[in-house]
Amino acid sequence: MTLKSVLPQDPYVARISMKLLGTAALSCLAGLALAGQTSIPTKADSAAPAEVSSISTKQQIKVEKRTPAYWRVTFDNPPFNIFGPETIPQMEKVVAEIETDPNLRVVVFDSDVPGFFLTHYNFTPPLAESTRLPSGPTGLHPLPDMLVRISKSPVVSIALIRGRATGVGSELALASDMRFASREKAILSQWEVGAALVPGGGPMARLPRLMGRGRALEVLLGSDDIDGDLAEKYGYVNRSFDDDKLDPFVDALATRISGFDRQAIADTKRLVDFASLPSDPEIAAGWDAFITSVQRPAAQKNIGRLMDMGLQKDSDIEARLGHYTQTLADK
């Protein structure tokens, strides 16, 4: 089964249908179709009652309120911290709390899964698990909506990166206000072009603002792994630290900021946002490009091959995704 076989045949109608499905749904659709699954739900399946859902209720995100002004949001979905449709409602709840808590000043995103900060979207759940998720307050579909809202929130967001931040993980880090990485253990990447996809979570809009056009294109088109030191040199992260110094630094910075006046923090961040954040249409354009790319035979073939190799199952594939996307180009 291919993506085209589950879409309207008229090109215009197909484009509109793809946009309505939403990016999270498309990621699932891509993974299912490309991996050769034959159980992609029909329209009737999508209307099935919620009680037949296969979405796991496992809590994948933990919130530790260290003080009323300083929270830790920790991803805990072993073995690889893959982000899927079951994660989106949990993340939405966290983002809404970040936006509305009157005392919060700083949030730090980190991970409890060794070797993985946060990785790519889950390619295996049924399509219905994503299509029923509504668009967010920005009008974007759920995942890009949450990334935009994190960037524009009056609360300061910090990504503490230990392990692999690939795809969604990289895009969350880029949406955060600051990024700090373990010199020995952090790996960042936008791997999508290596699989014949276009990245969809906003890195084309965000990376050039951080590191310049040439380096952004090197990261995006090279689709390779970037370690902590190179990430610091390029501006992908604010700084990299020896691993044993990362947590103390981030904790001290977050604690310091959390003691400052909330309105002064919010106003200062808002003015910096005017000068630095991409517009919502820029983010939407990235999603449109991703939508187009997932329909191409090359993307269908490459994701299928990665799934056959063990994507989402084999720890070596997940830990060395840059290497394995290179093997696609070699054949």
DSSP tag of 231:
H
Going from the C-alpha of 186 to that of each of 1, 141, 192, the distances in angstroms are: 37, 29, 19
CB 21 within 8 A of CB 7: no
String of DSSP letters for 186-204: EEEE--GGGGT----SSHH
**Predicted TM-score (pTM) of this structure:** 0.83
Output the CA angle 171-174-175, nearest 5 degrees.
85
Q: What is the model's pLDDT at position 40?
A: 28
* Whether residue 248 has a cis bond before it, omega within 30° of 0: no
3-state helix, strand, coil in the chain (%, to 5): 55, 15, 30
Give the integer Cα–Cα distance in Å for 144 and 88: 11
Residue 136 CB-half CA count within 13 A: 23
Q: Which of 55, 136, 132 is nearest to 96 (CA)?
A: 136
User: Between β-strands 116-118 and 156-166, what pairing exists: parallel, antiparallel or unpaired?
Assistant: parallel
Q: What is the model's pLDDT at position 292?
A: 81
Please count the helices (runs of H) and the strands (runs of E) in the chain.
16, 8
Paired strand residues for 165: 118, 188
CB atoms under 10 Å from CB of 93, counted, come to 12
**Start-to-end CA span in the chain (Å):** 23
Low-confidence ranges of the chain (pLDDT < 70): 1-57, 126-132, 330-331
Task: Delineate the domains of the chain, giving CATH numbers in brackets.
Answer: 3-46+55-325 (3.90.226.10)
Paired strand residues for 106: 70, 156
CB atoms under 10 Å from CB of 260, counted, come to 14
CB 190 within 8 A of CB 199: yes
- State which amino acid sits at residue 56: S
Element (H, E) at 181: strand 178-189
Q: What is the model's pLDDT at position 200?
A: 85
Paired strand residues for 189: 166
CB 312 within 8 A of CB 80: yes
CB 237 within 8 A of CB 228: yes
Q: What is the model's pLDDT at position 21?
A: 41
Give the integer Cα–Cα distance in Å for 194 and 317: 14
Q: What is the model's pLDDT at position 128?
A: 60
